[in-house]
Structure 1
Amino acid sequence: MITPSPRAALLAASLLLTGCGGAAAVTTGDAPVPPRTPRPPVTLDVAPQQLPGLGPRTWAKVPADTRQALVVTGRGKDSSRSTAVLYERTDAGWEAGESWPAHNALKGWTDRHRLGDLRSPIGVFTLGDAGGLLRDPGTRLPYDRSPAFSIGGTGFEGEPLAGSFDYVIAVDYNREPGTSPLDWTRPLGEDRGGGIWLHVDHGGPTHGCVGLARPHMKALLLALDPELQPVVVMGDRASLNR
């Protein structure tokens, strides 16, 4: 009897472990060894799935370290009505909060917002600064309480605007993050508009902001956590799905 060398034995063991040779039987001596049944792939820890309703182009704009995202989905490109959902990222994936009705700009949405176009900007924007006419409800965001948040008059449908800025959160579109929502610095230029806020819904279309019912604005202020790098993802359904 010939004893195989250690090198030959190691080679035979390697072939068995790696499955070389496809479906052909591997033999050692006279005894055939049947083909190995492939094992199911091992599932490793993976990153949570992307936010629902977002296509690859939109999802790619969401910062990797974001753990909170308010997704505002418009009914249509030219619609002033939308729905907002606050998502929080956990080890199990993105967990959705309640669905809140919302208003956006009178003429809907645009990829390139301009001053006075009456459309809300489409995109992914950070949320870091808040304020309002009322006292801070307890948000973890920097909060600027000021009488400058007073507003009067009526909206596009004749609804009173009073109280719309009782609570606001600045959307970081064409503004300097880390400043009061009242700061009017426009890094992209005045013609690109600005002053885009999340604020209390006055019951009608806006000039470019997103309006949420007062209880929902307060709940949002209490929920947002700067350590979770919150953003707002906003636009009509078709645009967000790109």
Structure 2
Amino acid sequence: MRYILHILLFQCLVICLVNESANGQSTVTAAKKALHIVKRNAVLLESVQQLLVVFNETPKQNSAILVAMEKKNKVWRVIFTPIPVGIGRKGFAAPRAKREGDQQSPTGFFRLGQLFCYDKVVNTQMPFIQTTSEDKWIDDTDSPDYNRHIRGKTAAKSYENLKIRSDEYKYCMAIEYNMHPVVKGMGSAIFLHLSEGEMPNPSAGCVVLTQSDMERLLNWMKPELRPSILMGNEKVLMSGLLIQ
């Protein structure tokens, strides 16, 4: 009898741990919020079938929840257990308020763009560039290449190297914020990339997750389903971005 009780207690503990997110939200609650968010932003999402919904509870919170979703027969479904992620050190900027160097993540709906990988072989259907020491992302607001990837020499005064000593950019996917068109000073180099350690960490504005979670997402993504990201404070997203 005691053995059976121990087994039951262990199972309850596992269920509690699995259902509790890094933000203190249950995974069930996070999934329900994501479903409400996509419903409120249905017009924006008409052309995409794969979506990452990233949201925090309070605007300045530098941790968030990522919910991967896929649309089939016009119905959105949650694909994975919600994932804890890091975002900008000062949380999410208000819609259209993101600025270069403000340590905030942008709010909005963006396509997921170019993927950069250190390795030659990656378990993904997404097209990718194998990163070299010559790959850079320009963050100099006075450069004609501002918020663009270049390979080779540059006259830009500042840029991010896309191959660094750590594994943070081992998988690095551009979030196409401020790219169509590029507006000077509105922010640059917003990526989906790996954390410094075993837990997601805050960033200068990127969305940060663990390697195992990133690999799961890359394995799931399909270019023909137009993977995109919808990100911001939950209250803003639940109000609908088209009315902001």
Smaller-chain TM-score bracket: 0.5 to 0.7
The structure whose Rg is larger is 1
Q: Is the 8 A contact 2:114 2:173 kept in 1?
A: yes
The 3 A distance-change label for structure 1 pair 221 and 175 is same
Q: Is the 8 A contact 1:58 1:123 kept in 2?
A: no
Higher helix share: 2
Of 191, 195, 210, which aligns to 1:197? 191
Match of 1:175? 179
Shift in Å, 1:90: 1.6
Match of 1:71? 53
Match of 1:12? none
Shift in Å, 1:55: 7.1
Note the residue ranges of structure 2 that are not aligned, 5 or more in a row.
1-32, 134-161, 240-244
Q: Is the 8 A contact 2:85 2:201 kept in 1?
A: no
Of 35, 47, 53, which aligns to 1:52? 35
Q: Is the 8 A contact 2:50 2:226 kept in 1?
A: yes
Match of 1:211? 208
Shift in Å, 1:129: 1.9
Q: Is the 8 A contact 1:130 1:169 kept in 2?
A: yes
Match of 1:14? none
Shift in Å, 1:102: 0.2
Of 158, 168, 178, which aligns to 1:164? 168
Note the residue ranges of structure 1 that are not aligned, 5 or more in a row.
1-49, 153-161, 177-186
User: Match of 2:163, as an amino acid?
Assistant: S
Query: 1:49-93 CA distances to partner (integer Å, 9 max, x unpaired)?
Result: x9613177643322x121111111123200100011110112372
Give me the whole-angstrom Cα distance separating, in 1, the residues matched to 2:99 and 2:112: 21
Q: After TM superposition, where is structure 1 displaced by more than 3 Å over at least 4 residues in a row?
A: 55-59
Give me the whole-angstrom Cα distance separating, in 2, the residues matched to 1:234 and 1:123: 6
Of 159, 163, 166, which aligns to 1:150? 163
How many positions carry a matched residue from both structures?
173
What secondary structure does 1:124 align onto?
strand
**TM-score normalised according to structure 1 size:** 0.66
What secondary structure does 1:147 align onto?
coil
The 3 A distance-change label for structure 1 pair 116 and 92 is closer
What is the identity percentage for the equivalent residue pairs of Structure 1 and Structure 2? 27
Of 99, 106, 111, which aligns to 1:126? 111
The 3 A distance-change label for structure 1 pair 241 and 210 is same
